[in-house]
Amino acid sequence: MSYKSLKACVDDLARNGHLVRVAEEVDPCLEMAEIQRRLYAAGGPAVLFERVRNTAFPAVANLFGTPERCQFLFRHTLERVRKILQLKADPAAAIRHPLTFASAPLTAWKSLPKKVRGGAVLEHTASISDLPAIKSWPDDGGPFITLPQVYTEDPLQPKTLTSNLGMYRVQLSGNDYENDREVGLHYQIHRGIGVHHAAAIEKGEPLKVSIFVGGPPAHTLAAVMPMPEGLSELIFAGMLAGRRFRLARKNGYAISADADFCIVGTIEPGAAKPEGPFGDHLGYYSLQHDFPVLKVEGVYHRRDAIWPFTVVGRPPQEDTSFGALIHELTAPLVPREIPGLHAMHAVDAAGVHPLMLAVGSERYVPYAERQPRELLTTANALLGFSQASLAKYLFIAAQEDDAALDASDIENFLRHVFERVDFERDLHFQTRTTIDTLDYSGTGLNTGSKLVIAAAGEKKRELDTALPAGLNLPAGFDDPRLALPGVLIVRAPAGGGGEDAQDFSSHLADSGISGGIALVVLTEDSEFCARNTRNFLWVTFTRSNPSHDLHGAGSFIEHKHWGCKGPIVIDARIKPHHAPPLLEDAAVTKRVDALASKGGPLHGII
């Protein structure tokens, strides 16, 4: 079925056992967010909060909380969307399998956005302060919209099909914003809205912005979908919704006629104010920085409007479900976009952009001993490809060494790489470059380094599956533990820096460490880091900047190439310039415990 509104979706979920309603009043300041996090962790249903304190609007959470619910929401359209994307990846498939893809052109044509004269969203007006003020983490700068669809058009070519629909967080109040007149608009590096904003600044005119909230869930997913070249987010939304994206116009602004809410306004050239902090998807706060400020000109809403929200934090969270569905849909496009690349996997547990795993081909010199050559070409292309360009650590391996190599099987993939990597040859750095805006391991906002670790050829080592016998660590370094085969975690003095990490690396040659250890991670809490793979990935790759925090035993520089005899050492301790990790408020936790206790409205749900 195609949902004409968010209410239609909520009612459908309720009928089919995917949603519960909570009639008791809940607090949008921290309490609702903690409930949502627990719902997601428990694999629970979507929840409609019918009474939200200080607002007349109900709110729905955990809509996309499980892969099964995502499949349910789009059960009537996913297969058609898959065919369209498969056809875009391989146009010749239509000739080889004409019956399979016969409906694809009609599906795309019937999904073109539709111009309409009005819509339910325009029936009522409100102020920003009337909206649910949902605050997710104690040190957030204020309430945020966490599932916005931010719509802009290119000032040089203001056309619907060249528009951008993206999900960029919106701060509703706090800091220096004028109440009801200004909201903060945070967009990160490498986002489509940036191109439109730059064009408006060049023309010396305001950028018109429309922020849609709610509507069919396909519209929300389209806002986070990394679209292939030539496919509009609005067309994708229409295909996935099974209903054309309806756009109206009012006072020169685009309005999603099926949305629950729409905020419109302008960004004046040079207009910026401090935005944040905000608890983000790496598991830390993104700190306060100047970002564009939107001058609000209008707030519209439906009569039966529902406010959808999510909470981001240390993975996995609800956006993990987004990512899994997006990866499934876009996987066929990857080999066509980058020749020689078979698969790539942005590791959710490491915060997505800090760690990427990829499988490529190594065919350049088949008559000689195989080593990474084509893999390096592929790695460079990958680091210039869409949002993959934000990867900080890129591990890439040759498919020829293992036809079953799977980039999503993280433990086996890392074992494969560490068995084969030549640390004197196969470490390739990019320094003073861009990294994810939300990653504070670097030297400044958007600024850090990248490391490509490439592996091809025969095994070079057997990885240790137990601690090396006779291991001798320098003073202040203790509690060694294995996280994975060949991966040693060591407790190091808190607050240390590069100097003691370098001294530790120099000591390794005389420490009794075996050739079966490929990676040593230094951290304040080795038990936590080694407890499970999820902890190892999060600590190691979110808390390190390759150029500053990677060291190695027997390191050298030869003609500007850095290498080492091995193992490599990553200093993953928290540094003074890092953003603080996300911690819940104890008093709020106690309140939510009461809601979940026997007799409480959420008993048996969270």
Q: Could you tell me which residues come within 8 angstroms of residue 578 by beta carbon, excluding any fewer than 6 positions away?
A: 284, 440, 441, 543
Per-residue pLDDT, 80:
83
Q: How far apart are the C-alpha atoms of 183 and 273, rounded to whole Å?
A: 10
Tokens of 535: 């902890």
Per-residue pLDDT, 252:
93
CA-wise closest residue to 88 among 235, 246, 241: 235
Per-residue pLDDT, 388:
87
Give yes or no for a contact between 394 and 421, defined as CB atoms under 8 angstroms apart.
no
Per-residue pLDDT, 591:
93
* Cα torsion through 240, 45, 42, 592, rounded to 10: 130
Q: How far apart are the C-alpha atoms of 40 and 85, rounded to whole Å?
A: 29
Residues of the chain with pLDDT under 50: 94-95, 97, 99-102
Per-residue pLDDT, 97:
47
Which H, E and C letters describe 161-202, residue by residue?
HHCEEECCCEECCCCCCCCCCEEEECCCCCCHHHHHHHHHHH
DSSP string, 56-82: S--EEE-TT-SHHHHHHHTTTTHHHHH
Strand, helix or coil for residue 543:
coil
- CB-based burial label for 208 (10 Å; 0-12, 13-18, 19+): buried
* Cα dihedral 259, 262, 267, 273 sign: negative
Strand, helix or coil for residue 129:
helix
How much helix, strand and coil, in percent to the nearest 5, is found in the chain?
Answer: 30, 25, 45
Q: Could you tell me which residues come within 8 angstroms of residue 222 by beta carbon, excluding any fewer than 6 positions away?
A: 149, 165, 233, 234, 236, 237, 240
Per-residue pLDDT, 446:
87
Q: What is the pTM of this model?
A: 0.92
Phi, psi of 585 (to 5 degrees): -80, 125
Per the listing, tokens 């809940």 go with: 26
Give yes or no for a contact between 257 and 118, defined as CB atoms under 8 angstroms apart.
yes
Give yes or no for a contact between 323 and 310, defined as CB atoms under 8 angstroms apart.
no
Q: Could you tell me which residues come within 8 angstroms of residue 158 by beta carbon, excluding any fewer than 6 positions away?
A: none
The whole-angstrom distance between residue 306's C-alpha and the CA centroid of its chain comes to 25
Per-residue pLDDT, 94:
45
Q: How far apart are the C-alpha atoms of 392 and 413, rounded to whole Å?
A: 17
Per-residue pLDDT, 190:
62
Tokens of 461: 């080592």
Per-residue pLDDT, 194:
86
Per-residue pLDDT, 495:
77
Q: Are strands 519-523 and 487-491 parallel, antiparallel or unpaired?
A: parallel
* Cα dihedral 103, 105, 111, 115 sign: negative
